[in-house]
Amino acid sequence: MHANVLISFKFVLLAAVLLGSQLAHSAAIYKFRDRNGVVNYTNVRPIGVNPQIVMVYCPGCDPTSKVDFSRVGININAFSKEIQAAISKHPVDEALVRAIIQAESAYNPSALSKAGAQGLMQLMPGTANQYGVTDSYNAAQNIQGGVAYLRFLLDFFDGDIRLASAGYNAGENNVLKYAGVPPFAETQVYVKRVAQLYQRYQGELAKAKLAGQTPAPANLPPVVGANLPIAAAAVGQVRPAAIPNVVTLASVSSSAK
């Protein structure tokens, strides 16, 4: 490995520490070479190039994450048009949709997981194809597909939010296999965190509605466990809620490979 390549990676790792609060909004760090031959690193998926993922940053996916999901910032305004369009077609509580989005991507439409899940609601290619999503990085398409899948899971599990959330993370077949929330550490914590976020979003959206900030929600089918205590409605993987800005971490000379 060339010395300047080693230095560049050391810089990226250092930047990840120094810019931790910003990188928390990102699913990955991308490496790409621009038209001038300069290698760049950024936390937002670049357009018009085929980037290489050099580091995945997803503290909410880690069962050992120290993020306090009962206090992490939430966002009741981001992608409102896209969410309202999706829930009008596939009725799901907006609070649950936002909880899933935050747990999956922290509102980062460029999020990409190690497993290949993409976009705001982290759709796997097969799921995206099943629900007619041709571009998972398009916010409207991604939310339509994710909400349609979430509606399917709620129907499949008779409105049980815990099981639907577990199915969203681990797949409905695993929920059936284990007759409940699968014993996977990631799924166990995912269910807990989604429940925490869901409860918080319910409260904040209700306040906003009373203040006249948001339209009344669509008529929703009943769900099971909507008002369960957090401990009983375990769920999640989360990153702080905010739409990320592009953070270019480093540029190195064109000799880097």
Same domain, 93 and 135: yes
Same domain, residue pair 127 and 204: yes
Contacts of residue 10, Cβ cutoff 8 Å, sequence gap at least 6: none
**Residue 105 confidence (pLDDT):** 87
Tell me which DSSP letter residue 61 carries: G
Residue that has been written with the tokens 């497993």 in this structure: 115
b/e burial code for range 203-220 (CB count within 10 A of at least 16 → b): ebbeeeeeeeebeebeee
**Beta-bridge partner residues of 58:** none
Whether 221 is in a domain gets the answer no
Q: Write the CATH number for 87.
A: 1.10.530.10
120: left (phi over 0), alpha (psi -120 to 50) or beta: alpha
Please check whether residue 35 lies inside any domain of the structure: yes
pLDDT in tens, 39-67: 887 777 788 888 876 555 554 567 877 88
Residue 227 lies in a domain: no
Residue 9 forms part of a structural domain: yes
Are 42 and 127 found together in one domain? no
Q: Are residues 9 and 51 in the same domain?
A: yes
Q: How many domains does the chain have?
A: 2
pTM, rounded to two decimals: 0.67
Q: What is the mean pLDDT of the chain?
A: 76
Per-residue pLDDT tens over the stretch 141-198: 999 999 999 999 999 999 999 999 999 999 999 999 999 999 999 999 999 999 999 9
Residue 43 sits in the same domain as residue 87: no
Q: 255 or 182: which carries more pLDDT confidence? A: 182
Rounded-to-integer distance, Cα 242 and Cα 230, Å = 23
Note whether residue 166 is domain-resident. yes
Contact 214, 208 (CB under 8 A): yes
Mean pLDDT over 83-97 rounds to: 98
123 and 39, same structural domain? no
45 lies in the same domain as 121:
no
- Does the CA dihedral 178-184-189-194 come out positive or negative? negative
Q: Is 94 a catalytic residue?
A: no
Report yes or no on 159 lying in a domain.
Answer: yes
Q: Are residue 103 and residue 175 in the same domain, yes or no?
A: yes
Higher pLDDT, residue 107 or 257: 107
Quick check: 3 pLDDT over 80?
no
Looking at the structure, tell me whether residues 41 and 98 fall in a common domain.
Answer: no
**Full residue range of the structural domain in which residue 38 is found:** 3-57+244-252
Asked if 39 and 152 sit in the same domain, the reply is: no
| Active-site residue (options: 82, 94, 104, 204) | 104
Does some domain include residue 237?
Answer: no
Structure tokens at 216: 């009344």
In a domain, 96, yes or no: yes
Identity at 160, one-letter amino acid code: D
Averaged pLDDT, 8-37: 55
My answer on whether 40 and 116 are in the same domain is no
Instruction: Identify which has the larger pLDDT, 240 or 152.
Output: 152
Same domain, 90 and 198: yes
